[in-house]
């Protein structure tokens, strides 16, 4: 079915818990590595963890998992395919070593599942996270990640059950709220109300005027405080070109659920961009990216469009490349957008042509096919 909200994975991935408690050089290195990791300084994280690994008499699985995470996350910010592949291979090697050392170390399987999700290999992600749950049946974070993977695979009943299991085992109130928010965002309430079921049917039929009318009635009565209903009303309005009204609804949704609602932030950013508020669009999309944990090809593509309109071509190129990496080439339009951005620099015209060719290969009858063919012919003429 066509999704009425942006479905984004925000996988629970933090550095695996370390066993050190006494104040010594090992503990100092681990604290330093954790600080670097949270700041996105992956080179420094890797350096600290390798020093820590060298000091160990035998490699411990928790250090290996943390090292794998740092390589995995650093790969997302590498421009060159070879460099990305190198980091991804290193990550996989360290996850594998952690499992070999301790086949019952649940975080290794959980984090390996995140690795496979970033490769868009959802069956393997699902399998590895299930291994984590088998090793630790009360692993709340693993149930949460499993739910998100299964939602992406459209296994909705299984996803709902995994979210509920995560709630059952989670002890921290802040994380319980996060799970409930994700349930709400993805439409997984205990029992769907009449307006939810009706709106989903109208969205599937792309009957936007009828969806608008029905959701307006809903938010006026039983759904006045339902952030998903306001977000969906905004989406129905936006699909009819009523972007200013859509913006108002997205803002109501975000007032009702101010955190962990990446779909509403993304939708708000898109509507603000279309109305010319580029600064507002950039802020909303950056919040969407933060709520999604940096994941989300659609968000990166939208940010690329904003930066391009702001004449910040290097940032636009970076966002498009992140979108391509995270979509595993399942979003052809990004290749077209990247080609347009690369054309700004004569030195990158060959790369631009390659991107147009990739777009045409993936979407030969796509909306931008004629424009891509035209741009490609012009580039080839000047080469």
Task: Determine contact, residues 257/236, Cβ cutoff 8 Å.
Answer: no
Q: What integer is the mean pLDDT of 126-146? A: 91
Cα–chain center distance at 375? 31
Q: How confident is the model at residue 188 (pLDDT cuts 50, 70, 90)?
A: low
Rounded Cα–Cα distance for residues 5 and 283 (Å): 19
Other C-beta atoms closer than 10 Å to the C-beta of 94 total 27
Note whether residue 232 is domain-resident: no
Chain-wide mean pLDDT for the chain? 82
Question: Does the pLDDT at position 244 exceed 90?
Answer: yes
- Residue-wise pLDDT tens digits, 358-368: 899 888 888 89
Q: How confident is the model at residue 23 (pLDDT cuts 50, 70, 90)?
A: very low
Task: Determine contact, residues 300/322, Cβ cutoff 8 Å.
Answer: yes
103-119 residues labelled b (16+ CB within 10 A) or e (exposed): eebbbbbbbbbbbbbbb
Q: What integer is the mean pLDDT of 131-146? A: 90
pTM of the model: 0.57
Name the nearest CA neighbour of 284 among 274, 239, 40, 223.
Answer: 274
Note whether residue 254 is domain-resident: no
Q: Report the number of secondary-structure helices (H) and strands (E) in the chain.
A: 20, 0
Cα–chain center distance at 23? 37
Question: Does the pLDDT at position 332 exceed 50?
Answer: yes
Note whether residue 91 is domain-resident: yes
Rounded Cα–Cα distance for residues 260 and 186 (Å): 12
Q: How confident is the model at residue 4 (pLDDT cuts 50, 70, 90)?
A: very low
Terminal CA-CA length for the chain: 44
Name the nearest CA neighbour of 263 among 304, 229, 309.
Answer: 229
Structural domains in the chain (count):
1
- The domain containing residue 69 runs over which residues? 25-185
Q: C-alpha angle with apex 234: 301 to 307, nearest 5 degrees?
A: 25
Lowest-confidence pick of 5-14, 24-33, 129-138, 241-250 = 5-14
DSSP 149-182: HHHHTT-HHHHHHHHHHHHHH---HHHHHHHHHH
Go through the chain and tell me how many residues it has.
383
Note whether residue 273 is domain-resident: no
Q: Find the CATH number of the domain harbouring 116.
A: 1.25.40.10
Task: Determine contact, residues 271/234, Cβ cutoff 8 Å.
Answer: yes
Note whether residue 158 is domain-resident: yes
9 or 66: which leads in pLDDT: 66
Task: Determine contact, residues 105/17, Cβ cutoff 8 Å.
Answer: no
113 or 81: which leads in pLDDT: 113
Q: How confident is the model at residue 10 (pLDDT cuts 50, 70, 90)?
A: very low
- Residue-wise pLDDT tens digits, 247-284: 999 999 999 988 878 888 999 999 999 999 999 999 99
Lowest-confidence pick of 34-38, 77-81, 325-329 = 77-81
- Which of 216-220, 229-233, 333-337 is the most confident on average? 333-337
Note whether residue 332 is domain-resident: no
For the chain, give the percent of residues with pLDDT over 70.
83
């Amino acid at each position: 079915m066509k999704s009425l909200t942006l479905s984004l994975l925000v996988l629970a991935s933090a550095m695996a818990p370390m066993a050190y408690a006494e104040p010594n050089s090992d503990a100092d290195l681990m604290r330093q590595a954790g600080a670097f990791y949270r700041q996105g300084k992956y080179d420094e994280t890797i350096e600290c963890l390798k020093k820590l690994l060298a000091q160990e008499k035998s490699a411990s699985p928790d250090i290996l998992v943390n090292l794998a995470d740092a390589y995995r996350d650093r790969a997302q910010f590498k421009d060159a395919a070879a460099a990305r592949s190198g980091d991804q291979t290193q990550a996989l090697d360290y996850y594998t070593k952690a499992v070999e050392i301790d086949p019952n170390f649940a975080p290794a399987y959980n984090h390996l599942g995140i690795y496979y999700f970033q490769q868009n290999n959802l069956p393997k992600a699902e399998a590895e996270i299930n291994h984590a749950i088998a090793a630790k049946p009360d692993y709340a974070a693993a149930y949460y990640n499993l739910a998100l993977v299964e939602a992406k695979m459209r296994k909705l009943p299984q996803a709902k059950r995994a979210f509920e299991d995560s709630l059952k085992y989670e002890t921290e109130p802040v994380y319980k709220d996060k799970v409930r928010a994700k349930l709400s965002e993805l439409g997984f309430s205990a029992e769907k109300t009449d307006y939810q079921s009706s709106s989903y049917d109208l969205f599937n039929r792309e009957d936007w005027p009828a969806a608008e009318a029905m959701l307006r009635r809903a938010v006026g009565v039983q759904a006045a405080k339902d952030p998903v209903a306001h977000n969906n009303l905004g989406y129905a309005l936006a699909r009819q070109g009523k972007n200013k009204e859509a913006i108002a609804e997205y803002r109501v949704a975000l007032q009702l659920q101010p955190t962990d609602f990446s779909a509403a932030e993304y939708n708000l950013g898109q509507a603000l961009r279309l109305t010319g508020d580029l600064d507002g669009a950039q802020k909303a999309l950056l919040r969407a990216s933060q709520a999604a944990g940096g994941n989300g090809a659609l968000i990166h593509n939208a940010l690329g469009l904003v930066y391009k309109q702001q004449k910040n071509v290097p940032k636009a190129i970076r966002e498009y490349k992140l979108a391509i990496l995270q979509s595993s080439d399942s979003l052809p339009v990004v290749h077209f957008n990247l080609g347009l951005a690369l054309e700004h620099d004569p030195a990158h015209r060959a790369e631009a042509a390659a991107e147009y060719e990739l777009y045409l290969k993936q979407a030969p009858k796509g909306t931008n096919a004629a424009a891509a063919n035209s741009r490609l012919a012009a580039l080839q003429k000047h080469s």
